[in-house]
Amino acid sequence: MKSKIFNISLICAFFLTLGAFPTKALSQETKPEGAEKKFDPKETILEHIADKHEWHMFGKSYIPLPVILYTDKGLEIFSSANLQPQGTVYAGKYYNYMLVNNKIKVVTADKQIDAVNNKKVWDFSITQNVASMWMTGIILLLVFFSISSTYKKRVGKAPKGIQSWMEPLILFIRDDIALPNIGVKYKAYMSLLLTIFFFILINNIFGMIPFFPGGYNLTGNIAVTLVLSVIILLVVNLKANKHYWKHIFVPNPWWLFIIMIPVEIVSIFSKPIALMIRLFANITAGHIIVLSLVSLIFIFNSLWISPVSVVFVVFIDAIEVLVAFLQAYIFTMLASLFIGMAIQEHHDHEVI
């Protein structure tokens, strides 16, 4: 197991070092003095963990994604290739557009942001994170439909292929997460817990190779973790029974209601907020640390520092493999715990 983690980490570190920075940074060609922009690690790191309107591949190559804008004059749809490289002004049907810090802004012909007229643009574009989320959804559907089909064809037989790899994880979620925390009603929530666990896990693993084709920083996007947390918030409070609400609005002893009711109401929202921040912060921090270590090569402008940098990157990536599984487990475990606290009856002490 340790050797597998090390091999995965080494592969991640290799592709990260290869594709993390523009190819011109590795070029040995001589350029006129002052022609090359000074390397800025902060700008580079923030650029690579941010959402984009194109899907970056190796080096400077990318796949343009569709831009969908709704303005006060109507709908505009065009390719993000029209906005590349950044600073390019695209003359749309209604306005001129330009990418400013990966955000589409209405500008004048001379690249001035149109603040006078205060044009409001609603951006419904298919960004890299949106495309990545769709890809994850397709992977989940293919995997689980394949496993379901295999179970129907091989009734009573030993698991085979991807089924043998997924079955222990599914049983782990059922026996060690859902049953202990939710109790006898766990079956109604298994689909939700499995989806959340594998959705987070797949994106965490792909996110470890953010510059390899198909890599992205989806779980490091707070908007994504916010939606996951809101789903848990809705499930918990819509499925909650009378005992859950009685515990919130009828404290025991009753004379503590002035203190306890506000505290309990705050706790309703603080639980999903904790889920959101924990996942976002851990995944983003891991990416920033790895990128910072790779940046040392370019900060010192010497290849002598590269062995030290790569060794530390491999070490951090080994930890990130563990974190990828750990964060998926923690989010799913806490979600099941919150659901169990909301739906469990007082007599549900034994699990069938």
Which phi and psi (to 5°) does residue 55 adopt? -100, 105
Each residue's pLDDT tens digit, 134-191 = 888 999 999 988 888 888 887 777 777 788 888 899 999 999 999 999 988 899 999 9
Q: Give the span between the Cα atoms of 11 and 68, in whole angstroms.
A: 36
Residues in the chain: 352
**pTM exceeds 0.95:** no
Provide the pLDDT for residue 118. Answer: 59
Separation CA 313–CA 12 (nearest Å): 9
Least confident of 89-93, 116-120, 298-302: 116-120
Closest CA to 196 of 147, 229, 148, 165: 229
Strands 122-123 and 96-100: unpaired
- For residue 162, what are the CA distances in angstroms to 4, 8, 138, 172? 18, 19, 16, 16
Q: What is the mean predicted confidence (pLDDT) over 248-257? A: 78
Provide the token pair at 272.
């999903």
Query: Where is pLDDT greater, at 194 or 54?
Result: 194
Query: What is the reported pLDDT for 101?
Result: 78
Location of structure tokens 């695209």:
90
Burial 225-248 (b: 16+ CB within 10 A, else e): bbebbeebbebbeeebeeebeeee
Q: Is 11 left (phi over 0), alpha (psi -120 to 50) or beta?
A: alpha
Better-scored residue on pLDDT, 167 or 12: 167
User: What is the reported pLDDT for 115?
Assistant: 56
How far apart are alpha carbons 276 and 283 in whole angstroms?
Answer: 11
Q: Which residue has the higher pLDDT, 9 or 111?
A: 111
Q: Are 296 and 309 in contact (CB under 8 A)?
A: yes
Q: Greatest CA separation found in the chain?
A: 79
Taken in order 158, 164, 170, 174, is the CA torsion positive or negative? positive
Which of 4-13, 38-47, 145-154, 276-285 is predicted with the least confidence, judged by mean pLDDT? 4-13
Mean pLDDT of 77-103: 84
Q: How many CB atoms lie within 10 A of CB 347?
A: 6
For residue 333, give Cα distances in angstroms to 88, 112, 178, 181, 339. Answer: 47, 49, 8, 8, 10
| Confidence grade of residue 230 (pLDDT, cut at 50, 70, 90) | very high
- Averaged over 49-61, what is the pLDDT? 76
Query: Whole-angstrom Cα distance, residue 28 to residue 327?
Result: 41
Average pLDDT for 185-208: 91
Is 224 strand, coil or helix? helix
pLDDT at 279: 92
The pLDDT tens digits of the residues spanning 56-71 come to 776 667 788 899 998 8
Query: Residue 44 to residues 47, 99, 181: CA-CA distances in angstroms?
Result: 5, 16, 43
| Mean pLDDT of all residues belonging to the chain | 80
- Residue 239 in this model has a pLDDT that exceeds 60: yes
Supply the pLDDT for residue 257. 77
The DSSP annotation for 119-179 comes to ---EE----HHHHHHHHHHHHHHHHHHHHHHHHHHTTTSPP-THHHHHHHHHHHIIIIIIH
pLDDT category at 16 given cuts 50, 70, 90 is very low
Nearest Cα neighbor of 20 from 351, 336, 313 is 313
Provide the 3-class DSSP secondary structure of residue 253.
coil
Whether the Cβ atoms of residue 224 and residue 276 lie closer than 8 Å to each other = no
d(CA 174, CA 184): 12
**What are the structure tokens assigned to 143, written together?**
């995997």
**Could you give the percent of the chain with pLDDT greater than 70?**
83
Q: How confident is the model at residue 17 (pLDDT cuts 50, 70, 90)?
A: very low
Higher pLDDT, 299 or 1: 299
CA angle, 162 as apex, 156 and 166 as ends, to 5°?
80
